Amino acid sequence: MSIPRVLIVVLVLSTAGCTAEPLTADQETVAEVGEEVRTLHVPFDEYKLSRLDLQTIEYAEDLLTRDCMRELGMDWEMLPPPSSQDSDPLNRRRYGLIEPEIATRFGYHLSPPSPELMARESVWAHRDRLPLAERRAAYGDDGQGGCRAQARHHLRKDIPDLDQSRLYDFSAEAFDASMEDPEAVDVFGRWGACMKAEGFRYSDPLAPPGDPAWVESRRPSAPEIAVAEADVRCKQETGLVSAWSSVEERIQRDVLRSHREDFDGFRRAKDAELDAVHRTLEEFG
Amino acid sequence: MQHRLGVRVGAVVLGFAGLLGVGSAVASAETAETGIQASPFSGTFYVYEHDDFKGGSGSFRGSDRTLTNDSWENGPAGRIMNDNISSMRNQTDRDIFLWEHAGFGGDHYLAKKHSEDKDLTHNSNNPPNFDNRASSIQFR
């Protein structure tokens, strides 16, 4: 039995309420993903697993786990099926905060979890409290085996033997290079001048979210929201996101051309995993 | 400052409800009220100061939007995890993102469930890659 969603909300809110001002009604409402975020893509995205991909993999693992558990005479509570739309795209804050609504309502803090995410979390929480026999069946004696491991191995068995983490090396290098590119440096300078005119000084567009004045705070403050709003406004006025994204796209395409074999491998690995997932969905879903 | 597991989990979830994974919040609330730690079957995410799982270590059972307040366990006093993680072991049943910036921003690294990476600099002639780069951790 899963933990009722309302209980989770009560626990979260009551815990927060012990030490700070209660959340405003506006801050309890989920913010929709901004339009600009929805259109934000970089070439390496094709080779990485998105959040929706990961949800789909988890769902297939759950189907296999449930089948395994049933053979042992036990049940398995499933995570919800994959969402139809990503409620928190991975590029959402790639170039810092870019959503005006988020800036005004939450500053650099995050929107509350979506109902879909809450439902998923309630299932994860439930799994922490399985009776011992079910835990052992699902996770093995050491937490690394059981039906869960069987399901993982089934889905991964056809993945080529290559180091997929290299993809993130390439990504990080390209991201660094993009920030040093003259075009990006130029637009960062114009963004910085805009921020200065608004009364704020930051070294680059990724610096404000980590400002010590609020990075550890529990909820957004008025000064934080003022900076966040100016930050987003200055990004819009200078065309920063479009310019930076174009620079990063160019750099990533150069990397793709010069490391074609590596990226072909990353694609094969991603395709193999997702193919196995879809076969599982067809068989068990 | 050293973190015990319960302290870290609590520290990251006590605030603004929208910041972090709700699962962590549930675990924290129960821990606070009953003293019961989350089941070991749900696993732990470990990070290390140096390659090959050496140096200071840190353990996570939920998301943390900034590592600026997290010091290494078993490590030099005063050294923080922020921009200082060089290897990791994900022994949880969940995929985990390491983010370059606080609040889950910038570029990211996917630490798949039940995986490890003994050298976040590996395969590169041009560090840092994701070595000494992570500033926030997100259980997805």
Asked if A123 and A78 count as a contact pair (C-beta separation under 8 A), the reply is: yes
Structural tokens at position A78: 């499933």
Beta-carbon contacts of residue B69 (< 8 Å; ≥ 6 apart)? A216, B11, B80
* Low-confidence winner among A102-106, A134-138, A214-218 (lowest mean pLDDT): A214-218
Superfamily of domain B5-139 in CATH is Crystallins (2.60.20.10)
Backbone dihedral angles phi then psi of residue B96, each to the nearest 5 degrees: -135, 135
* Low-confidence winner among A156-170, A219-233, B85-99 (lowest mean pLDDT): A156-170
pLDDT at B126: 52
What is the mean pLDDT of the segment spanning A250-267? 97
Between B11 and A220, the higher pLDDT residue: A220
Q: pLDDT (tens digit, 9 = 90+) per residue, B96-139?
A: 999 999 999 999 999 999 999 988 876 555 545 788 899 999 99
Nearest Cα neighbor of B69 from A115, A62, A217, A244 is A217
pLDDT at B38: 41
H or E, element range at B87: strand B87-90
Backbone dihedral angles phi then psi of residue A271, each to the nearest 5 degrees: -60, -40
Backbone dihedral angles phi then psi of residue B63, each to the nearest 5 degrees: -65, 155
Position B29 pLDDT exceeds 50: no
pLDDT at A21: 55
Percent of chain B with pLDDT over 70: 65
Size of interface A-B (CB pairs under 8 A): 185
Q: Is the pTM of this model over 0.95?
A: no
Position A5 pLDDT exceeds 70: no
Backbone dihedral angles phi then psi of residue A41, each to the nearest 5 degrees: -140, 150
- CA dist., res. A232 & res. A109, Å (int): 14
Nearest CA in chain B to A130: B39
Mean pLDDT estimate for chain A: 89
Backbone conformation region of residue B82, classed left if phi is above 0, alpha if psi is from -120 to 50, else beta: beta
Q: Does B133 touch chain A (CB under 8 A)?
A: yes
Which value does ipTM take for this structure? 0.88
pLDDT at A23: 63
Vertex A222: Cα angle to A218 and A225 (nearest 5): 85
Beta-carbon contacts of residue A83 (< 8 Å; ≥ 6 apart)? A52, A55, A116
Between B12 and A278, the higher pLDDT residue: A278
Q: How far is CA A205 from CA A125, A157, A192, A255, A264, in A?
A: 36, 42, 8, 24, 33
Position B2 pLDDT exceeds 60: no
Between A182 and B128, the higher pLDDT residue: A182
Nearest Cα neighbor of B116 from B84, B134, B91 is B91
- CA dist., res. A260 & res. A69, Å (int): 42
Asked if B131 and B109 count as a contact pair (C-beta separation under 8 A), the reply is: no
* Low-confidence winner among A124-128, A163-167, A220-224 (lowest mean pLDDT): A163-167
Residues 17-46 of B with CB under 8 A from A: 17-23, 25-29, 32, 38-43
pLDDT at B122: 61
Cβ–Cβ below 8 Å for B43 and A143? yes
pLDDT at B129: 72
Q: Does A94 touch chain B (CB under 8 A)?
A: yes
Q: pLDDT (tens digit, 9 = 90+) per residue, B61-73?
A: 999 999 998 999 8
pLDDT at B41: 55
What is the mean pLDDT of the segment spanning A188-211? 96
Q: Which residue has the tokens 């923080």?
A: B80
Q: pLDDT (tens digit, 9 = 90+) per residue, B37-70?
A: 344 456 899 999 999 999 999 999 999 999 998 9
Residues 95-114 of B with CB under 8 A from A: 95, 97, 100-110, 113-114
Cis geometry, peptide bond prior to residue B128 (ω within 30 degrees of 0): yes
For chain B, what are the domain ranges? 5-139
Position B27 pLDDT exceeds 80: no
Three-state DSSP class for residue A159? coil
Position A90 pLDDT exceeds 50: yes
Beta-carbon contacts of residue A149 (< 8 Å; ≥ 6 apart)? A139, A140, B114
Residue of A18, A27, A135 lying closest to B18 (CB–CB)? A27
